[in-house]
Amino acid sequence: MSAPDLHQRGVADLARALAAREVSAVETAQHFLSRMAARQDLGAFVAVDADATLVQARAADAAIAAGSAGPLAGVPIAHKDIFVTTGWPSTAGSRMLAGYQSPFDATVVRKLGEAGMVTLGKLSCDEFAMGSSNQNVAVPAVGAEQPVPVRNPWDTARVPGGSSGGSAVAVAAGLAPAATGTDTGGSIRQPASFCGITGIKPTYGRASRYGMIAFASSLDQAGPMARSAEDCALLLSAMCGPDPDRDSTSLDRPAEDFSQGLAGSLDGLRIGVPKEFLGDGVAPGVRAAIDAALAEYEKLGAKRVEVSLPRTELAIPVYYIIAAAEASSNLSRFDGVKFGHRASQYKDLAEMYMKTRAEGFGDEVKRRIMIGTYVLSHGYYDAYYLQAQKVRRMIADDFQAAFRDCDVIAGPAAPTVAWAIGAHSDDPVADYLADVFTLPGSLAGLPGLSLPCGFDGGMPVGLQLIGNYFAEGRLLNAAHRFQQATDWHQRTPTGF
């Protein structure tokens, strides 16, 4: 395997080549570090430490030589900067945590490290994972003096999606074969769609939230992003598993090998297509790509059935009430007392709190904290927060009704392709509306996957597949069989 080919290989291919000693982990790491340095203009990375990466790579080579290596030994990965990691800055994209280094690893980071993966660096994200475009960044990217938005490699004038935009760009541009992401309301699936890669959010509680800087505790979930469903299956197998001693939301469900059922037949698979997912708000080019993908599934033996998720539009107000309420609670810990930023000048404790938060939080974070504080306040809790929780249960019930008639639910991951950087700067609600098809599954805690299925105006379109609880294997099987029959996931941006 020649060095120029390394970034064109996925996780599965690299793992096989490294295990067979066709290429070394050090050579692989050096190749990706070189690509990362050459494409700092994309703004994907916020922290890189070549020495630390090569130390891990040499350890992986030694383990492979000794026959004691993990299943993903030597395969590089980069982590969204929402996961704390020892030896690396962990900022959540915020000035509030500028310079913070964690004394421990997030469980997801630890598990992937135990599988033998080599860390390339930390990836840019919307501040505290709040955003749909990766423009709400307060930490400078590597090579930049000031914070910059992450740029989509398919068109650098466009957003990559968010909040895991740095993760999606790193994979799409061949700067890393895999990346971790988090999905609160669509932050794995939407950027995967915008950047033409594959990403999966597992069932809520499948992957430990320990060490994942919290945004909305009842919604946040970790997941992998890579080129293909096969790659995501390997990564998800390593990431998931119970963690009850550290995370009270972790499910007591054993880890699974999600790659085992990838090749299963799709004969008789019932694919439910909600009429609400293909309405007037979907761009014609996006709809055409989704229809073509569904036709391909029918060729593979699946059956298309119409279902309904009648409360789809209600997911937006419900999510932005519940998520903001939980954010206002979670982010109250950042007060300048124990860790993180502290204002340099203040007269008393109250002023220290106010100045610290005014300086440390960005506009979008402040907006959501204020909304969350409002809906939890006396006189409004019953009218807003409690009502939102009731509708959330109804949305979950809608999915269960739909799954009586189908095995998986399909539709667009987003109603449009990626928009221009700055296009929504004066209208944050426009960003919120981009998550209309990913929010319902998140509110219900269901697994969801986005895979490339076509283009609209030269920009990637993602097909979203949603499964019932613990149906990650079925989703990955359906995605893998589609990717065996098509080459959308193998397309790369010009010059990458």
**Mean pLDDT over each residue of the chain, to the nearest integer:** 96
* Predicted local distance difference test score (pLDDT) of residue 431: 86
Confidence of residue 2 (pLDDT cuts 50, 70, 90): low
Q: Which of 17-31, 224-238, 389-403, 423-437 has the weakest average pLDDT?
A: 423-437
Catalytic residue, chosen from 24, 94, 124, 187, is: 187
Would you place residue 126 in the very low, low, confident or very high pLDDT band (cuts 50, 70, 90)? very high
pLDDT in tens, 433-471: 899 999 999 999 999 999 999 999 999 999 999 999 999
From the candidates 24, 80, 208, 237, which is the catalytic residue? 80
β-pairing verdict for 270-274 and 303-307: parallel
Q: What is the DSSP letter of 78?
A: E
pLDDT, residue 3, reads: 59
Residue 389 has pLDDT above 60, yes or no: yes
Write the DSSP assignment of 243-296 as a string of letters: -TTT-TT--------TTTTTT---TT-EEEEEGGGGSTTS-HHHHHHHHHHHHH
End-to-end CA distance of the chain: 18
Does residue 138 surpass a pLDDT of 60?
yes
**Is 201 assigned a catalytic role?**
no
* 125 has pLDDT over 70: yes
Q: Is the pTM of this model over 0.85?
A: yes
User: Does 187 qualify as catalytic in the annotation?
Assistant: yes
pLDDT band for 428, please (50, 70, 90 cuts): confident
pLDDT band at 339 (very low <50, low <70, confident <90, very high): confident
Cα separation, 459 vs 352, in Å, equals 46
| 208 tagged catalytic | no
| pLDDT value of residue 116 | 98
Mean pLDDT over 321-334 rounds to 96
List 90, 163, 228, 450, catalytic entry: 163
At 200 the pLDDT is: 98
Residue 202's pLDDT band, with cuts at 50, 70 and 90, is: very high
In this prediction, residue 425 has a pLDDT band, given cuts at 50, 70 and 90, of confident
| Residue 99: count of CB within 10 angstroms of its CB | 11
Judge if the upstream peptide bond of residue 163 is cis by omega within 30 degrees of 0. Answer: yes
Average pLDDT over residues 71-94: 97
- Structure tokens, 123: 């990836």
**pLDDT tens-digit map of 157-200:** 999 999 999 999 999 999 999 999 999 999 999 999 999 999 99
DSSP output for 302-330: -EEEEE--TTTTTHHHHHHHHHHHHHHHH
